[in-house]
Amino acid sequence: MELLYDTGWAEQPATVEQPLRGDIDCDVVVIGGGGGGMSAALRLAERGVDVVLLEAKTLGWGATSRNAGYLTNSVAADPEVLGLLLKRERLRELYRYAENAVHFAEDALSRHGIDCDYERTGIVMAAVSKGQLRHARRNAKVLAEAGAAGEFIEGPEAGLPEGFLGGIREGVGGTLNPGKFVLGLRDATIAAGVRVYECTPARDVVDTGDGVVVNTPGGKVKSRKALLTTNAASSGLSSAPRHLATPVWTSLVETEPIAPERLDEIGWTSRAPLVTLHMILESYRVTPRGTIAFGTRRIQAGRNPLPDRTPAPNVVDDLVRGFRDRFPGLRDVEPVRAWGGWIGMSSTWLPVAGEASDNVLYSLACNGHGFAQAQYVGHLLAEHVTGAPLHADLAAIWHGRKRFRPSFVSGPALYAGWLADRAADRLAALTTSESRITSSPVG
């Protein structure tokens, strides 16, 4: 079947805001209009600050409108590994920040009246092998110690698809339609009085000591302060800290509609959105249009300037293979579309925010789990830039002026992660078939 290559989540905005023509002044300029940038600019406008928002394409064009739509209190790094590396108090701060981000995003939906099919289902970090189930138990313990909302679930009463043995059901969050969300937040941002310039890429951001000058193809913006919320594109700007993040391309696939009885038949009675416990996760969720959207597994490092692109055929094939392996009862279901987007991946897989220089602050809350977090960090940065002390949740991810070490995130490292996951899958399949043979009656 010929695949479609758009997200299918929502239409593009009906009209585009004018690009910048000429030179302008403002108090704060926000560069990059994803969930993070819009949320920051909105907060600044609410506080009466004269704010300009520059967006290279249209607001929300990046990861914020292209993601899988999970509103999650997870951070990208594995809880068990974090439990080994971080002090308990540090871990508590991190998960408190992530949970507050979910509450913030939920509040934003109701405050701005955004209808985006939000379902507060909680997400299941699901195990597809006995090894992953043991890992889930250990993770559940770490999360409980860190005060994160979640419970360990197991067995048929969990309502997970056949082959998913159990896992951790997050106690907050759920799924939504990110395309509809972006349209709603864009309307709210424009209505709040933010001076929005779309189709206006910042070419460079210069801290002059007493302020900031941002150069764009059509003119300059002079401001007192600047917020960089450019996500994966940050490394394309010389003012962003070196080694801040590696751009990583992440892909999703969506199936044709599936009759609800078939989901019941395979045991997915809870309809809970799932992410697996692989090193590089697999995600599977039912959409409001009765399809399954699934993705990640094989991610690819890129370089700035980031090209507009679609998922590679071998990555789509691999995702479809994964879907058929995980859902043998839905083997006949065809994929109909594939899309993807760029995320900025920090070397620790943890979200970060900080100061690039005296007058330039940045947020990089992404790593594939930043849908709620980018918005929350944008909001907190807006408060901070107008003089509020560092909020405890911003302090939990604050990098200050420290330098970043060169990242181990690279094409070969991500490929090695994919290979390790497939080797673990094969081992799990072998163990399962051996235990079937040894437990079958002989004679």
Ligand X SMILES: Cc1cc2nc3c(=O)[nH]c(=O)nc-3n(C[C@H](O)[C@H](O)[C@H](O)COP(=O)(O)OP(=O)(O)OC[C@H]3O[C@@H](n4cnc5c(N)ncnc54)[C@H](O)[C@@H]3O)c2cc1C
Return the bridge partners of 265, or none.
Answer: none
Our finding on whether 366 is near ligand X (CB under 6 A) is yes
For residue 393, give the 3-state DSSP assignment.
Answer: helix
Of 56-64, 111-119, 384-392, 424-432, the segment contacting ligand X by CB under 6 A is: 56-64
The single residue among 12, 24, 27, 57 that binds ligand X, judged by CB under 6 A, is 57
Check: CB of residue 302 under 8 Å from CB of residue 248.
yes
In the complex, least distance from residue 167 CB atom to ligand X, rounded to whole angstroms? 16
User: Which residue, 129 or 231, is less far from ligand X as judged by CB?
Assistant: 231
Our finding on whether 231 is near ligand X (CB under 6 A) is yes
The H or E element containing residue 102 is: helix 88-111
Residue nearest to ligand X (CB): 34
For residue 294, give the 3-state DSSP assignment.
Answer: strand
User: How far apart are alpha carbons 264 and 341 in whole angstroms?
Assistant: 32
In the complex, least distance from residue 63 CB atom to ligand X, rounded to whole angstroms? 3
CB atoms within 10 A of CB 120: 12
Our finding on whether 247 is near ligand X (CB under 6 A) is no
The single residue among 167, 174, 247, 368 that binds ligand X, judged by CB under 6 A, is 368
The single residue among 195, 225, 369, 391 that binds ligand X, judged by CB under 6 A, is 369
Q: Phi, psi at residue 198, to the nearest 5°? A: -95, 170
Of 127-135, 157-165, 368-376, 430-438, the segment contacting ligand X by CB under 6 A is: 368-376
Check: CB of residue 300 under 8 Å from CB of residue 315.
yes
H helices present in 176-223, as ranges = 178-191
Residues in contact with ligand X, counted by CB under 6 A, come to a total of 40
Of 60-68, 104-112, 256-264, 412-420, the segment contacting ligand X by CB under 6 A is: 60-68
User: How far apart are alpha carbons 41 and 19 in whole angstroms?
Assistant: 17
Q: Phi, psi at residue 62, to the nearest 5°? A: -80, -145
User: Which residue, 161 or 173, is less far from ligand X as judged by CB?
Assistant: 173
In the complex, least distance from residue 336 CB atom to ligand X, rounded to whole angstroms? 17
Q: Phi, psi at residue 19, to the nearest 5°? A: -70, 160
The DSSP code sequence of 345-385 is E-TTSS-EEEEEETTEEEEE--TT-HHHHHHHHHHHHHHHH
Q: Based on the number of CB atoms within 10 Å of its own CB, is 435 exposed (0-12), middle (13-18) or buried (19 or more)?
A: exposed
Q: Nearest 5 degrees, angle CA 105-CA 352-CA 108? A: 10
In the complex, least distance from residue 189 CB atom to ligand X, rounded to whole angstroms? 12
Site for ligand X in 11-50 (CB under 6 A): 31-37
In the complex, least distance from residue 49 CB atom to ligand X, rounded to whole angstroms? 19
In the complex, least distance from residue 37 CB atom to ligand X, rounded to whole angstroms? 6
The single residue among 82, 105, 126, 202 that binds ligand X, judged by CB under 6 A, is 202
The single residue among 104, 371, 376, 418 that binds ligand X, judged by CB under 6 A, is 371
In the complex, least distance from residue 220 CB atom to ligand X, rounded to whole angstroms? 13
The single residue among 128, 274, 374, 385 that binds ligand X, judged by CB under 6 A, is 374
Closest listed residue to residue 281, CA positions, set 74, 143, 64, 100: 74
User: Which residue, 30 or 153, is less far from ligand X as judged by CB?
Assistant: 30
Q: Which two tokens stand for residue 180?
A: 């509809």
Site string (261-300) toward ligand X, x via CB under 6 A? ----------------------------------x-----
Site for ligand X in 62-121 (CB under 6 A): 62-64, 66-70, 72
In the complex, least distance from residue 61 CB atom to ligand X, rounded to whole angstroms? 4
User: Which residue, 238 or 431, is less far from ligand X as judged by CB?
Assistant: 238
Residue tagged 């996951």 (tokens): 421
Closest listed residue to residue 272, CA positions, set 123, 118, 156, 102: 123
Return the bridge partners of 216, or none.
Answer: 219
The contact set with ligand X (CB under 6 A) reads: 31-37, 54-57, 61-64, 66-70, 72, 201-202, 229-231, 233, 250, 252, 295, 340-341, 343, 366, 368-372, 374
